Amino acid sequence: MCGINGIYAYSPDAPGVERTELLRTRDAMQVRGPDGAGSWYSADGRIGLGHRRLAIIDLSELGAQPMSTSDGRYTVSFNGEIYNYAELREQLALTGTSFRSHSDTEVLLHLYRRDGADMVRHLRGMYAFAIWDAQECRLFLARDRHGIKPLYYADDGKTFRFASQVQALLAGGALQRRVSPGGLTGFLIWGSVPEPLTFYQGIRELPAGHTLHVTLHGAQAPLAYWRLGDALVQSIEAARAIPIGQEIDILRQALADSVRAHLVADVPVGAFLSAGLDSTTLVGLAHEAGRNIQTFTVTADEFLGKPGDEAPAAAEAARHFGVPHTVASIALDHAHETIPAFLAAMDQPTVDGINTWMVTEATRRAGLKVVISGLGGDELLGGYESFDRIPAIQMKAFGWISQRWVGGAYGHAYALLANWLKQMPPRGSEKWSATGNPQAAYLWQRGLLMPWELAKLLPRDVYLAGLEELHLASTWEAMPQELPPFAQVSLLESTRYMRNQLLRDSDWVGMAHSLELRTPLVDQRLTEQLAGLAALGRFGKGKTALARILANGLPDAVLNRPKSGFTLPIWAWLHSVDELSGWKRNTWLRSRHARNPYTRWGYAVIARMPEMQGLLL
């Protein structure tokens, strides 16, 4: 995993690549790649690529980037891991391709030479990369199917810029730090900025499962090569043909295969271990695969001896598998010291990530560069309460009301607010409006704020512009009509919460500590194999089937522990850390109506930002 960036001055009217800008952007991502740095420029100075390296596969200089083919036609800057690169390398070698390195990066170059843009259909992994074709004067960018790795870009009509982080693009100096109304309102509603928007005007995120071409005529529209909704439809159809009784064997084989793939590395691999079924099962499968990986758990002093403390059950699971284990307990004083660093490293505003920051910090101190995480099990197998609640919300009232939401949740809210009602909608009316519409029901269930509550936090022109921008930006992935309720929620949780919050936070938090986070439960092949069976209820309720797939089972401390989630006492830190006192400026946030601590946390995160001056009430 690494940091990538580039500048392509495609218009004849644009000045050539300013090398100092390229290097400023690249080196703003130094923590993403402390093992090396590289840059490449075309002979005419119209394009430059940068790279910061965290060496995981082929640690030699032969794996350094940007990397070019021997004839100089293709050059790549790549962030991520291709787990099936050895298999692809063998296929390419059979057709006469010769390799100079043992890296997955070089496989990308030769695969693009053979298949062009269709190369992405052969890749298994997490990735964001850019390949320059000198003969066609064409820049090709791609992002993995689930959106594990980020890729941000800006296009002013003459010059195209891209990077692995938003703050790195801004550090280049060519872009202004103007807050996007859509990004701001989206953050306040959800606690994260929904793609393809970012928190800043003029910067977009390449959507997951999309590619993008930039030619001498400019950037073309992103093209989807994989959509989760389509994959769910296909997986359900395939699951109907699977005989009853084979579910657990398929679950075991698919998970074991994904874990083996995610253990591919030329450095040691560790694991986050909570007391939940997801991470415990992954550690057990890694142990069965012959990898005695080191495990890590984080807790807080406030939790010691209380039901919310995961540490004892996690330690018992580690003993059960016989793997080395480390517990890091976070004191309030340490939180005071750490939160400023957490906020300084934050790429885009988020109300989450502090828990991942703490365990990542402890893991990196142990000297590891790669760790696997149990992220994704709830979205795949139905571990959230939303899998019951959202279908129930949709059935609350008369189906015809849902016709008012044809324009989408944001469009409906915008229409209401644009008329400037003298009185806000009656409490609970938005819940009735969600009838029959899974996206609106999801907004009611998962949103930190209802859109009309933005009037308590933002000037009227800002939130109206923001809701309109959200409505026009297509931030919701298309929902196939044939999906059953379980699959609808799985699609929503995966493309909204997991993609925009959990995966994004895992990337920037891990990279802030030069640590690669891998997610075996967020994998294209796994999704296509298991999502249909889960949607048809073939695994039983939630994630209970995971307890049945390990040869030596799971310890009672894990099996009998109620689900609590992986959390830390941010509500205590919010009140005690001066850096996060901004929420206290707003009367409504201090009132009994704003009970959600994540709403206050989010307001505090952005209130400290200089560019937010004048945009908050």
Which residues neighbour 482 within 8 Å (Cβ) at sequence distance 6 or greater? 233
Query: What pLDDT score was predicted for residue 436?
Result: 64
Q: What is residue 169's predicted lDDT score, i.e. its pLDDT?
A: 98
- In contact, 151 and 78? CB cutoff 8 Å: no
| pLDDT band (50, 70, 90) for residue 584 | confident
pLDDT of residue 568: 57
Domain stops at, among 226, 241, 274: 226
Task: List pLDDT tens digits, range 76-122.
Answer: 999 999 999 999 999 999 999 999 999 999 999 999 999 999 999 99
- Mean pLDDT: which of 326-330, 334-338, 410-414, 547-551 is highest? 547-551
pLDDT at 454 over 60: yes
Q: How far apart are the first and last CA of the chain?
A: 40
**Contact indicator for 366, 326 with CB cutoff of 8 Å:** yes
Instruction: Give me the mean pLDDT over the 130-143 stretch.
Output: 98
In the chain, the amino acid numbered 515 is: L
Structure tokens at 429: 């009316």
For the chain, give the mean pLDDT: 89
Decide if 136 is inside a domain: yes
Q: Is the pLDDT of residue 142 over 50?
A: yes
Whether 406 is covered by a domain: the verdict is: no
pLDDT for the residue numbered 450: 83
156 falls within a domain: yes
Say how many domains are in the chain.
2
Share above pLDDT 70 across residues of the chain, in percent, rounded to a whole number: 88
Q: What is the pLDDT of residues 293-307, one digit of tens each?
A: 999 998 877 767 666
Q: Are 369 and 32 in contact (CB under 8 A)?
A: no
The pLDDT confidence band at residue 566, using thresholds 50, 70 and 90, is very low
Going by pLDDT thresholds of 50, 70 and 90, the confidence category of residue 430 is very low
Distances (CA, A) of 299 to 167, 284, 341, 596, 601: 30, 21, 19, 22, 20
Q: Tell me what the mean pLDDT of segment 331-340 comes to.
A: 78
163-218: pLDDT as tens digits: 999 999 999 999 999 999 999 999 999 999 999 999 999 999 999 999 999 999 99
Percent of residues, the chain, with pLDDT higher than 90: 71
Phi, psi torsion values for 373, nearest 5 degrees: -125, 150
| Residues catalogued as catalytic | 2
Confidence of residue 564 (pLDDT cuts 50, 70, 90): low
Q: Is residue 124 part of a domain?
A: yes
The helix/strand/coil state of 81 is: strand
Rounded to whole angstroms, the Cα distance separating 279 from 297 reads 11
Which run of H or of E encompasses 138? strand 138-143
The residue length of the chain stands at 617
Given 183, 208, 226, the domain boundary residue is: 226
Query: Strand pairing of 295-300 and 325-330?
Result: parallel
| pLDDT tens track for 432-442 | 444 567 888 89
Confidence (pLDDT) at 440: 83
Average pLDDT over residues 318-347: 87
The percent helix, strand, coil of the chain (3-state, each to 5) is 45, 15, 40
Q: How confident is the model at residue 336 (pLDDT cuts 50, 70, 90)?
A: confident
Closest CA to 568 of 339, 376, 363, 369: 339
| Model pLDDT, residue 574 | 57
- Cα separation of 407 and 611, whole Å? 31
Q: pLDDT tens, 315-329?
A: 999 999 999 999 887
Single residue among 226, 250, 285 that ends a domain in this structure: 226
Dist CA 185 CA 180 (whole Å): 9
Please check whether residue 105 is in contact with residue 130, taking contact to mean a CB–CB distance below 8 angstroms.
Answer: no
Residue 64: Cβ within 10 Å count: 18
Q: pLDDT band at 567, cuts 50/70/90?
A: low
| pLDDT band, residue 412 (cuts 50/70/90) | low
Per-residue confidence at 402, pLDDT binned at 50, 70, 90? very low
401 pLDDT more than 50: no
pLDDT value at 42 more than 50: yes
- Residue pair 288/551 in contact by the 8 Å Cβ criterion: yes
Question: Does residue 155 belong to any structural domain of this protein?
Answer: yes
Q: Is residue 443 part of a domain?
A: no
Q: Span 503-510, mean pLDDT?
A: 98
Residues 36 and 55: beta-carbon distance below 8 Å:
yes
Which regions of 44-135 does DSSP assign to beta strands (E)?
47-53, 67-68, 74-82, 125-133
pLDDT of residue 409: 56
Domain assignment present for residue 497? The answer is no
Has residue 425 got a pLDDT over 50? no
**CATH number of the domain bearing residue 161:** 3.60.20.10
Q: Which residue range(s) make up the domain with 28?
A: 2-226
Annotate 7-32 with DSSP letters as a single string: EEE-STTS----HHHHHHHHHTTGGG
376: in domain:
no
- 347-361, 382-396, 548-562: least confidently modelled range: 548-562
